Amino acid sequence: MVAARPRALSASYLTDTLPTLLPPIFEQVQHTTANHRKNLVALRKLHESCATIVEPSTKKGGGIKVVGEKAFNGLFIEMVNRVLPIKKGVAVADRVVKFVASYVAYSTEQDAANRPEGEDEEMETPAARFVVKLLKHLLSGMEAKDKNVRFRVTLLTVSMINGLGEMDDDLYVLLRKSLLERARDKEAAVRVQAALGLAKLQSGEDEEDLEEGQEPLSEVLLDLLRYDPAAEVRRAALYNLPRTPATLPFILARTRDVDPILRRTVYHGSLSSAALPDSRILSIAQREEVVRNGLGDREGSVRKAAAGMLGDWLDQSGGELVDFLSRFDVVSSQVAEEALLSVFVTRSEIFEAVEFGDDYWTSLTPDKAFLARDEARLEESIPVVTSLAFRIQDEFNKLVSAVNDEDSGESNDANELAFVVGELLRLAVNLDYADEIGRRKMFQLAREMISQETLPESLIPRCLDVLSKIANGERDLIRVVVDVVTELRAGEGEEDEAPAEQASVYSVTPRRRKSVMPRFDMSDPEARMKAALVDLRCLAICISLLERVNSNLQDNSAFHGLLPDLIIPAVRNKEEPALRDQGLICLGLCCMIDSKMAAQSLGLFVQQLTAADDHLKVKVAQIVFDLLMVQDIQTLVSMTMPVEKVIELVRHVLSQDAPEVQAVACEGVAKLMLAGMISDESILQSLVLLYFSPETAENQALRQCLTYFLPIYCYSSPQNQRRMLSIFIETFEMLAQLCEEMEDEQEMPPLAQMGLMMVDWLDPQKAVEREGVQSDTEIHLDLAVVILKGILTEASKEARKALVSFVGKLNLPEPEATEDWKVRGAMLLLSNIRSKRPLADAASRNALNRFDAAMLKKYPAELEGFDEEAFAAEEREEIKELVAFVDAVEATDGDAASEAGSSRRKKTSSSRRGVSRETSMAPSEADDAATAAGSDEEDAEDADEGTPAPRRSAPRSKRMEVVREEENDEEDDDDEDEDEDVESMLNDSDVSI
């Protein structure tokens, strides 16, 4: 049955009745959404009633005019226009927008429901014409100047998209183009709505139908996700991106986004079990990356979301921990351990259900061995010592077979077996060795394993851990390791018969040498190569040993033979760089526990800081700074250089070109300065300059270290803040000059930002409160004097503007905690700035005036009736110096005389520390300083030399020569002479080895 058509109304209805019915509907819907459904029905009836009002057309050909529709559409659009200027966040406007979008969807649904069967779907209806009219009206306002209008128009358009139904191609193209333009709008709120609209259009877009040059909407959303500066826009793009192999890498990259809400959303939304039913869609590398980023995030909410994601992954594994671990690379990654610990915290009942029975230990896989790492429940189920020793032996025999198998070679099987053996050795360290039989068995096994050339080098430290646990003290451990090293280096000597019971225990029978003297025939290249490989292995064993002992080598005679036979020859070896590198590391570890050897060997390590390659320099730099931390500095350098030259040595290491070496040097210097072992101001200045230098912009390790060190160093002690204050203006001038000379492509913070960071480091209110240590509350007042001096004498206009901006950030001390002359001295400087060097720009003058007013308000008693002449006549030495400083400044026409690249101001204060203007220190300078170490006067002069900055423009010499007191000959660069020096230093010295 066809519904009856509404009765036609007269034209007066449009002018008399419609204006009284439509506005009240909009009035009601803006207060609450509860009445929207009722008003949708009423508005639809009103719309249908208006559609019945038509008039005959006066145009040729006849027809009718839909005057009713036109009146309704016009009044409706007028109601909508009243909402458009309203800013974002107003609830009444948001309800109207929601109602309009709901009416568009409701009208489209009603048309579809009332369409007779068989009628053409493309046939126009009043509602369809209304939707097109409204949409075109909104699209015409997409480029409005008012940002509120652009936001409301885009919001309305996007809200209507789902209810538009079918639209013609021209309207779709116009809609798509308009939203693409709004995706580049300068307002983030508009771009958010555009991203939502593009996401809705994306679902119906076929990339094959795009014209040439048209960008797919998915690519637009990806660009918004990756590059948009507003976090809310990136979130909108993330919410609406499909999870496909093409988009997943970009979604996973957002786990490192700067916005914590977006990072959390990735874990809660994009990587949740609802969005990602199976985590194996991701590659192992991708899984480990998201887990590492999530569990290591600084925000607790992000870490919690990542832990929830791991719980979902465990559920996908059916609660099986072994299956869960198979989703990670347990052999070569640390992420699996972090993930397992997270699961133990959130799902503790899962671990309680794991059974470590006999079958578990007889069929070990890397995942099972890894799961057994946790000792919490293994005390009840771990095998006894003897049983575990046999299990380790069986797995090691499998490993030997895999390594020796020509087909497997470097196969994953060998790597996995090595991992299993390593995990079992890790367990063995924590066993109770009260059982003497089990102790002997495990000791024998660990000793024989390190005696085998087939043992992977990564397992040597694990074997040493077991031996150090079982051995009767460090002396016994050193004796055992020395025996093993001696056997390995003995060559193909005759073997003793192994005991029968021992042969039955091990698959590889241990060899007992009758003599340790025979070596390989060194005239044979193959024999030399074999000897080098054996020595490399022996050095690796010695390194693992030295990392685990603390007793002085002088008390362990068993180790003495290895120094001249193994370590020193390796250090002198010129043909095998790898052997020399390992020898230097081994020697450095020896020096860590022997102060006399450290003093004799320091010169060698310093030479290597210039002669070695960058990779070895990193190790050598670590050794040098570790020695400075562990050994007494005066004793350490006594045979190499005067103790005053340690500063030159540190500056030399900081001036290295290699970023890795610079990072290690910064870390070492930071430790020494935090420990109070180095307090030189020039070193502190070098670190500040390195921190801000554009040349270290890509050195994240260095920047991370200094980001932590510099504020901690200053806040930890008032004396440290005083040191930073003493270099403030000098460092600021260097940074200003660096900014002037900086090339466009180099990255460097603005000059004002760098200065403000230094001002913040000097804030006495941020100093750490410690018992017995009182904060220096006057330091910012002293800094004010320093800044005002800089404003008075600085030539660069930009530098002066930056200095003026600092005075408003100072925390002035209370009057009772302040010396009166400092307050009056600051006022004297302020007065002379206005009279001699007035500021040109109004902003700087206002800032200086505000500081003047703050001083008068803070110190009314001290500044009441202030007289410059009376102040200058006082007999205090500091006042005389300040007055002399002011008198030396010549009056100029403010900033008019300032020029880009002008020379920095001259020093006028006699108390100023002499620091070089150079921005780099070539190693040749350190060479000259060290070579001239014999004269006390020259030492004093060198101690006052300039501070190195991170820029390296001066030519570099080939090495930094460190001389001993008895060496006064000219430098000889011949390698053989250098080796003879090393030999005499290490072997002919007065060391009882």
Model confidence pLDDT, tens digit, residues 302-341: 999 999 999 999 999 988 888 999 999 998 888 999 999 8
pLDDT band at residue 196 using 50, 70 and 90 as cut-offs? very high
Specify the pLDDT at position 946. Answer: 38
Per the confidence metrics, is the pTM higher than 0.75? Answer: no
Task: Return all residues near 223 (Cβ < 8 A) that are at least 6 apart.
Answer: none
Cα separation, 40 vs 815, in Å, equals 71
The gap from C-alpha 346 to its chain's centroid, in whole angstroms, comes to: 27
Nearest C-alpha neighbor of 762 from the set 695, 717, 704, 700: 717
495 three-state secondary structure: strand
Question: Rounded to whole angstroms, how far apart are CA atoms 350 and 354?
Answer: 7
Side-chain-facing half-sphere of 313: CA atoms under 13 Å: 31
| DSSP H or E segment with residue 602 | helix 595-611
Is residue 154 domain-shared with residue 52, that is, in the same domain?
A: yes
Decide: 416 and 366 in contact? Cβ < 8 Å: yes
Asked whether residue 461 carries a pLDDT value surpassing 50, the answer given is yes
pLDDT of residue 214: 78
Together in a domain, 135 and 14: yes
Residues 6+ apart with CB under 8 A from 557: none
Tell me: do 690 and 665 sit in the same domain: no
Q: Are 757 and 720 in contact (CB under 8 A)?
A: no
Q: Which of 17-21, 396-400, 739-743, 941-945 has the lowest mean pLDDT?
A: 941-945
Q: Supply the pLDDT for residue 121.
A: 57
User: How close are the terminal C-alpha atoms of the chain, in Å?
Assistant: 114
Q: What is the reported pLDDT for 412?
A: 56
Res 895: pLDDT: 59
Does 529 lie in the same domain as 620?
no
Cα radius of gyration rounded to whole Å, the chain = 40
Confidence of residue 103 (pLDDT cuts 50, 70, 90): very high
Name the helix (H) or strand (E) containing 133.
helix 126-140
Backbone angles phi, psi at 633, to 5 degrees: -60, -40
Task: Tally the C-alpha atoms within 13 A of residue 691's C-alpha that lie toward its C-beta.
Answer: 24
Average pLDDT, integer, range 812-830: 90
Q: In this structure, which amino acid lies at residue 561?
A: G
Cα separations (Å) of 500 from 320, 505, 515?
Answer: 45, 9, 22
Between 845 and 551, the more confident residue is: 845
From residue 182, alpha-carbon distances to 102, 189, 920, 989 in Å are: 23, 10, 50, 79
* 885: Cβ contacts below 8 Å, ≥ 6 apart: 789, 908, 909
- Residue 901's Cα: distance from chain center in Å? 35
334: domain range? 242-352
* DSSP three-state, residue 8: coil
Q: What is the pLDDT of residues 132-162, one digit of tens each?
A: 999 999 999 999 999 999 999 999 999 998 8
Residue 200 located in a structural domain: no
Looking at the fold, whether 338 and 382 belong to one and the same domain comes out as no
Measure the CA–CA gap between 26 and 965, rounded to whole angstroms: 97
Element (H, E) at 346: helix 335-346
Residue 813's CB: how many other CB atoms inside 10 A? 21
What is the CB neighbour count within 10 angstroms for residue 180? Answer: 17
The C-alpha atoms of residue 244 and residue 250 are separated, in whole angstroms, by: 10
Give the span between the Cα atoms of 480 and 487, in whole angstroms. Answer: 11
Q: Which residue has the higher pLDDT, 35 or 979?
A: 35
d(CA 263, CA 303): 10
Question: Do residues 807 and 706 both lie within one domain?
Answer: no
Asked if the structure places residue 106 within a domain, the reply is: yes
Q: What's the mean per-residue pLDDT of the chain?
A: 82
Same domain, 527 and 568: yes
- Residues 761, 823 share a domain: no
Residue 495: per-residue pLDDT: 42
Q: What is the mean pLDDT of residues 573-587?
A: 90
Distance CA 985, CA 209 (A): 79
Query: What is the distance between the alpha carbons of residues 549 and 590, in angstroms, rounded to a whole number?
Result: 10
Q: pLDDT at position 122, please? A: 61
Which pLDDT does position 168 carry in this prediction? 81
d(CA 10, CA 220): 51
322 found inside a domain: yes
What is the SS3 assignment for 646-700? HHHHHHHHHCCCCHHHHHHHHHHHHHHHHCCCCCCHHHHHHHHHHHHCHHHCCCH
Instruction: Output the pLDDT for position 119.
Output: 63
**Within a domain: residue 740?**
yes
pLDDT for the residue numbered 605: 92
**Which two tokens mark 607?**
């030479």
3-class DSSP state of 605: helix
Question: Among 114-123, 169-178, 398-407, 924-933, where is mean pLDDT lowest?
Answer: 924-933
pLDDT (0 to 100) of residue 175: 92
Domain boundary among 620, 654, 678: 678
For the chain, percent of residues with pLDDT exceeding 70: 82
Res 910: pLDDT: 34
User: Residue 279 gets which letter from DSSP?
Assistant: G
Token pair, residue 629, equals 């931390």
Phi-psi region of 894 (alpha: psi -120 to 50; beta: other; left: phi over 0): left
Q: What is the pLDDT of residue 205?
A: 73
Least confident of 398-407, 470-479, 555-564, 924-933: 924-933
* pLDDT of res. 381: 64
CB-based contact 638:599 (threshold 8 Å): yes
Is the pLDDT confidence value at 104 over 80? yes
Q: Is residue 201 part of a domain?
A: no
| Between 75 and 492, residue with greater pLDDT | 75
pLDDT at 224 over 60: yes
For 36, the enclosing helix (H) or strand (E) is: helix 36-51
SS3 41: helix
Q: What is the mean pLDDT of residues 905-913?
A: 36
Looking at the structure, tell me whether residues 454 and 479 fall in a common domain.
Answer: no
- Band the pLDDT of 976: cuts 50, 70, 90: very low
pLDDT at residue 353 greater than cutoff 80: no
Question: What is the pLDDT, as a whole number, of residue 728?
Answer: 95
pLDDT surpassing 70 at residue 406: no
Higher pLDDT, 272 or 913: 272
- pLDDT digits 0-9 by tens, 1-14: 444 445 557 777 88
- Shared domain for 401 and 304, answered yes or no, is no
Residue 910, classed as helix, strand or coil, is coil
pLDDT for position 118: 61
Say if residues 32 and 85 touch (Cβ distance below 8 Å): no
Supply 214's token pair.
Answer: 């048209």
Which residue matches tokens 């760098």?
754
Going from the C-alpha of 963 to that of each of 501, 603, 606, 933, 967, the distances in angstroms are: 59, 8, 10, 8, 6
* Bridge partner list, 55: 65
With 60 as the cut, is the pLDDT of residue 499 above it?
Answer: no
CA dihedral 180, 186, 189, 193 (to 10 degrees): 0
837 and 871 together in one domain: yes
The answer to whether residue 228 scores a pLDDT higher than 60 is yes
Rounded to whole angstroms, how far apart are CA atoms 200 and 202?
A: 5
For residue 962, what pLDDT is reported? Answer: 33
Read off the tokens for 488: 């390995």
Letter string b/e over residues 551-579, b meaning 16 or more CB atoms within 10 A of that residue's CB: eebbebebbeebbebbbbebbbbeebeeb
The string of pLDDT tens digits covering residues 962-971 is 333 333 343 3
Q: Work out how many domains the chain is built from and give that number.
A: 7
908 within domain boundaries: no
- Read off the pLDDT of residues 627-651 as tens digits, 9 standing for 90 and up: 999 999 999 998 889 998 999 999 9
Q: State the amino acid at position 914 in one-letter form.
A: G
- Does the pLDDT of residue 361 top 90, yes or no? no
pLDDT reading at 933 higher than 50 = no
Overall average pLDDT of the 664-690 stretch = 94
- Residue 789: Cβ within 10 Å count: 25
Q: In 3D, which of 241, 320, 328, 322 has the Cα closest to residue 284?
A: 328
Contact 986/604 with Cβ under 8 angstroms?
A: yes
Using the 3D structure, point to which of 618, 646, 678 is the last residue of a domain.
678
Residues 11 and 143 reside in one and the same domain:
yes
Q: Tell me which residue of 456, 404, 402, 380 sits closest to 425, measured CA to CA.
A: 456
Please enumerate, as own/partner, the contacts of 120-128 that have beta carbons within 8 Å and a separation of 24 or more.
Answer: 121/166, 122/166, 126/47, 126/48, 126/51, 126/66, 126/69, 127/47, 128/165
Q: What is the pLDDT of residue 530?
A: 85
User: In this model, does residue 72 exceed pLDDT 50?
Assistant: yes
At 796 the pLDDT is 87
Distance CA 408, CA 825 (A): 81
Q: What is the SS3 assignment for 152? A: helix
Compute CA 442 distance to the chain's CA centroid, rounded to the nearest angstrom.
43
User: Tokens representing 220?
Assistant: 């637009």
CA angle 956, 957, 963 (to 5 degrees): 135
Give SS3 for 319. coil
